[in-house]
Amino acid sequence: MFQTYLIYPSSTQINKKRSADSLLVVFVVARITHNMDFSSFPFSSVRALLAYEYTEETISQYFFAFAFVSFLTHECLHFASEKLFPSRFIFGEKRWSKLPEHRRSQVIHAPNQIFNGLLAGSLVKGSLERFPSALKKNGKFDIGRRVVSSGGLFGKGAKAVLYKRSTVLATAASCGYLLYDFLLLTIFDRKNMLRAHGRRQYTIYIMHHVLPILMWPLAMRYGTFEYFVAWGVRSELSQAAMGLRTIFIGMGILDTIYGAMVQLSFVGVYFYVRMWPLADHVVSMAKADWFAENVPRWQLPFAFFTVPVPAMLNVYWWFMIMGAFWKVVSGEKKKKKEA
């Protein structure tokens, strides 16, 4: 049986509310993974976790185990940020105390954004393809559960093609972060997050977190929509530049030459991972074989909503980013401050 108390941080390290809710997540994940053969899958070594040979029956347990590790890592990183940022080595207590409370919350959260963006966004690179598959005879892309045959009479050697390891690891890492961030948005720091983002963006972020947490594990378990899941995780790479930008805003150095470099890098990375592949994604959605036999019918209502929504959000956020960027470049923001 998986002994959760061996690896979860003690309650003295974080506040009681955060500890209680996080322990609830630990319990749920432990229940999900309790049937795994941990003699061949020891948690004492991350290398063993990465090398574990999952099967069609154990891929979900493998995914949740890695997502659990990701969640705990983000909890620990958040705790470390709470201690380090106010210290004299970074902000200093005097400078830190002058920051509005909601701005402090954003700065503390920024390292988690950077870590998730770099880890998940880079891990998934090996899974990326321009299109979901080669065009089938009917002129459509295969987006469903793929099956290969290793021979045998009457196709008895057939087996499902599982998600690539890079997709599983990156998706699990991202879901662990999204769960941590969802708890931060809705429970641990709701007041500050709501003030920082505004009600509209706050609501969008909640939906942005809930849908992947629910849908990505399901798609992975049934071997469907890997193309769209992989590119969804890849888009998290822009979070790294966004997190760095948040820290620069908090330190009051966004208007410097270094701040300008961070601004440009954020715009560039966002365009590269979210906007540049957009045309291919639209073609993939339009030519996808949604009603093929290898696509479970019960997944279609969810897929018709969750697959195109990220593309629409990326376009929406792009116009928001470019609008803010133009205000800085044109000096409109500075004029308003002087007025």
Cα(312)–Cα(50) distance, rounded to whole angstroms? 34
CB proximity list for 49: less than 8 A, separation 6 or greater? 41, 43, 65, 66, 69
Contact criterion met (CB below 8 Å) for 182 and 209: yes
pLDDT at residue 19, as a whole number: 53
Helix (H), strand (E), coil (C) string for 100-145: CHHHHHHHHHHHHHHHHHHHHHHHHHHHCCCCCCCCCCCCCECCCC
The reported pLDDT for the residue numbered 185 is: 94
How far apart CA 313 and CA 299 sit, in angstroms, is 21
What pTM value is reported for the model?
0.83
pLDDT of res. 324: 80
- Number of folded domains that form the chain: 1
Using CA atoms, how far apart are residues 118 and 240, in angstroms rounded to an integer? 6
Q: Are 221 and 67 in contact (CB under 8 A)?
A: no
Helix (H, G, I), strand (E, B) or coil at 147: strand
- Among 231, 320, 214, smallest CA distance to 276 is for 231
**pLDDT per residue of the chain (339 residues) written in tens, 0 to 9:** 333 333 333 334 445 555 555 555 555 555 544 555 544 444 445 666 677 788 888 899 999 999 999 999 999 999 999 999 988 778 888 889 889 999 999 999 999 999 999 999 999 999 999 999 999 999 999 999 887 655 544 445 567 788 999 999 999 999 999 999 999 999 999 999 999 999 999 999 999 999 999 999 999 999 999 999 999 999 999 999 999 999 988 888 888 888 889 989 999 999 999 999 999 999 999 999 999 999 999 999 999 999 999 999 999 999 998 988 787 667 665 555 544
Domain that holds residue 41: 4-338
Token pair 């429970």 is found at: 187
C-alpha distances in angstroms, 313 versus 192, 200, 310? 23, 13, 5
Cα distances (Å, whole numbers) of residue 59 to 33, 62, 219, 299: 10, 5, 12, 19
Which run of H or of E encompasses 184? none
With CA atoms as reference, report the closest residue to 78 among 104, 39, 111: 111
